[in-house]
Structure 1
Amino acid sequence: MSKRGPNAGLARLIGEAGWTHAQLARQANAIGTENGTPFRYDESAVTHWLNGTLPRVDARKCVLEALRRRLNRYVTSAEAGFPPSERDYSAVGNTVEELIELGRQDMDPARRGVLGAGLFSVALTVPGWPDVLGRLEAFQAGRVTRIGMPEVQMVIDMTAKVSELDDQFGGRHARPMGAAFLVNTVAGYLKAPASADVRKAMMGAASDLSYLTGYMAVDEGLHGLAQRYYVKALELAGAAEDHLTYCTALRGMSVQATDLGHGARAVDLGEAAAAASPAAGPRLLAFIAGQRAHAAAQTGDRMGALRHLREAEVAMDKAESRTRMFGWYDPAALSYHISQVRYELGDRTGAVDAMEESDRLRHSSHRHTRVHRRGLLAERQLAVGHLELACETWGSALEEWPLVQSGRADDRMRTMVQMVRPHTKNAHARALYDRARAVLPVSMH
């Protein structure tokens, strides 16, 4: 045993469990007996633990398991104030522990301010495919029923539902739901006994959910938090040997970097996504190529941008020939990338035309994206001198804005007020300005 400072984490968990020190000791002893390592701890031992004495590794396992059973949720070593043990956790196990801690903090409104303080890092170390490929070492599982493909499908379906909520209403409410599902359900599945195929599939499903949660953090401007979710998605995808999700996460990181103006970093991430996508279907290839085009244009690489756009268009044609259901990359998204490339290369009128086409093609259920992108479209319409058309576009975004909880949508509305204010001598601009002041909170005026 070793002595450290007082263990506030363990104290919180004992309080949450509603146990006395003696009750925790008895439960830990009972689990030790089940596992063939009987203990004779009493309440004085628990007092020592709370004062900073670190129990032996086998005892820590039993304490965590006792708390898991009592609280009916996964309890990490870090939450209980215990360090991870190399004997307990593999590389994948550490990824799961870190993801649980990240999700648990994201669920807690009191912690979100701290999480949001993290800044986007251009120098973030991104694990390469060889570094994360097939890390399937066994790690300690709690007493959870053996899982199968039905549990994997449930995670996939729930992730799709959270994504639908984000599409319709924005990520401000959907992201904590995704984080809660990660912590309360998926974490247990990742620790549960399963066949090798099921374990891989579950890690792939968890990677998708981690990526989606990071994407929703981007929407709130929590870019450091988003990067942390994205890296966990990469690690889990590698462990699952899931090229598709790995490439999707890298592509998402490139989008984030581009939106923040870090064109060179976006190019690097886009190249990494392309290099890691030998078996990708046409939709993902189109998305990667479209994003690479935007990143290249942002760095002034005109030839590269146009080449990647052609690649995106060819891939989209192949996808369209197979099905009209494009999932997360569709003709509206391609038109958006065309607009962004034109804008970065100085063709402002062409950028507006392509953005208008994107708006016409966008699926009606994608309200969140529609509000944000219409705000951006209106800004560019005004920039090319179409004041009344911009007011009409802004007006349609403002109409749906109350139904969307989104940081990026809020930013577009703030920008709208700032850009319209100097034009209020125009009747259309004045009407929009007055309407905005009536709808938006004072802090956004």
Structure 2
Amino acid sequence: MALTIPGWPDLVGRFEKLRTTPHLRIGMAEVQSVAAMTERISDLDDQFGGRMARPMAASFLVNTIAPYLQADATEHVREAMLSAAADHCYLTGYMAMDERHDALAQRYYMKALELAGHAGDHLTYCTTLRGMSVQAVDLGHGSTALRLADAASAASPQAGPRMRAFLAGQQAHALAQTGDRAGALAMLREAEVAMEQAESKAKAHGSYDPASLSYHVAQVNYELGNRDGAIRALQHSEKVRPAVYRRARVRHGSMLAEWQLEAGRLEEAVQNWHRALDDYPAVQSGRADDRFRSMLAATRPHRRNPHVRDLLERARPMATSRRI
């Protein structure tokens, strides 16, 4: 993943001027409709996975957003539409990453950065860089993940506490994957302090919450070799996560089971895999499929155990339907 990270000053004003069509004029109503559609698709993605929701997002991008970007509009409306389009491209990239179409995800992410830069939208720009870091760390490219997370943080000097926690948590995970124990723990503490500040105020818009922070605590502990600490943190994350995040429940519950099995806690692991399988049939996600494959591989040496045998018997038709 040898990506060139575009800097914020390099993107502002660089966007190629689009041809405008005099037959279409848009206002803030169209901007609001794009933002609302993006939010609805994001909710579907959380519940059902990127494989189900991304085709809808891609179609909306081509058939609705692209013509809006070419429409006649005031400068204020044009910037707002560019920002809404950037957010939609980021979400579409995230869903492509969830499908495990990683090269496609990167193309969407780069377009989101370009649109955000031209719109003057620091929030979406930083969120997209962080999303690229999440993809990199998930693929095991710790150094690239750290460069992307640091770039996101550097581009948001005026971030509020929730955004600081959002960025610092990802920096901590990337630092841990590169083996920088002191840096990871320091950044994790920064994320925790920022989250405490954010939670003491009125709830802000955004998905980074205590469950997300606990997930980063778990990942940092696991990368640094503290498996028991990782298990406790991930259990807490699962306990406080809102129920709407079904895909996360499948992925993180399976991850928790893998860690418990590594710790010799076989029966607890099987229980968590069963919980993950409760939701798995409804989730169309390449990353969830990865966790399913990991379950099959991790339990192979324990197939004579009756609990594992029951688990695998339950999983068999799911594996057949997904061709796993």
Fold equivalence (TM over 0.5): yes
Counterpart in 2 of 1:275?
Answer: 154
In structure 1, give the amino acid aligned to 2:105.
Answer: A
Which of 2, 5, 11 is the aligned partner of 1:132?
Answer: 11
Counterpart in 1 of 2:134?
Answer: 255
Task: Tell which has more relative contact order, 1 or 2 (C-alpha 8 A, sep 6+).
Answer: 2
Which of 146, 155, 180 is the aligned partner of 2:34?
Answer: 155
**CA distance in 2: counterparts of 1:137 and 1:324, whole angstroms:** 37
Counterpart in 2 of 1:237?
Answer: 116
- CA drift at 1:282: 1.9
In structure 2, give the amino acid aligned to 1:395.
Answer: H
**CA distance in 2: counterparts of 1:411 and 1:161, whole angstroms:** 26
What is the TM-score when the length of structure 1 is the normalising length? 0.71
In structure 2, give the amino acid aligned to 1:366.
Answer: Y
Counterpart in 2 of 1:204?
Answer: 83
- CA drift at 1:439: 3.2
Q: Are the equivalent residues in 2 in contact too, given 1:257–1:263 (CA < 8 A)?
A: yes
- CA drift at 1:211: 0.4
Q: How many residue pairs were aligned?
A: 324
Query: Equivalent residue of 1:304, what SS?
Result: helix
In structure 2, give the amino acid aligned to 1:247.
Answer: C
Q: Are the equivalent residues in 2 in contact too, given 1:391–1:432 (CA < 8 A)?
A: yes
Q: Cα gap change, 1:412/1:137 in structure 2, threshold over 3 Å: closer, same or farther? A: closer
**CA distance in 2: counterparts of 1:138 and 1:226, whole angstroms:** 24
More helix per residue: 2
- CA drift at 1:283: 1.8
Counterpart in 1 of 2:237?
Answer: 358
- CA drift at 1:326: 5.6
- CA drift at 1:443: 6.5
Which of 105, 109, 115 is the aligned partner of 1:226?
Answer: 105
Matched, 1:194 2:73: yes
**CA distance in 2: counterparts of 1:422 and 1:173, whole angstroms:** 33
Q: Cα gap change, 1:443/1:209 in structure 2, threshold over 3 Å: closer, same or farther? A: closer
Counterpart in 2 of 1:180?
Answer: 59
Tell me how large the CA RMSD over aligned residues is.
Answer: 1.5
**CA distance in 1: counterparts of 2:295 and 2:190, whole angstroms:** 35
**CA distance in 2: counterparts of 1:303 and 1:145, whole angstroms:** 56
Counterpart in 2 of 1:435?
Answer: 314
User: % of aligned pairs identical?
Assistant: 60
- CA drift at 1:442: 6.7
Counterpart in 2 of 1:423?
Answer: 302
Q: How does 1:317-396 map to 2 (within 5 A)?
A: 317-324=196-203, 327-396=206-275
Structure 2 residue ranges without an equivalent (≥5): none
**CA distance in 2: counterparts of 1:403 and 1:442, whole angstroms:** 12
Query: Equivalent residue of 1:145, what SS?
Result: strand
Structure 1 residue ranges without an equivalent (≥5): 1-121
- CA drift at 1:327: 2.6
Which of 309, 324, 343 is the aligned partner of 2:188?
Answer: 309
Q: Are the equivalent residues in 1 in contact too, given 2:211–2:237 (CA < 8 A)?
A: yes
- CA drift at 1:229: 0.5
Matched, 1:297 2:195: no
**CA distance in 2: counterparts of 1:144 and 1:273, whole angstroms:** 39
Q: Are the equivalent residues in 1 in contact too, given 2:15–2:115 (CA < 8 A)?
A: no
**1:335-357, Cα deviation, whole Å (9 max, x unpaired):** 00000000010101111111111
Q: Are the equivalent residues in 1 in contact too, given 2:231–2:256 (CA < 8 A)?
A: yes
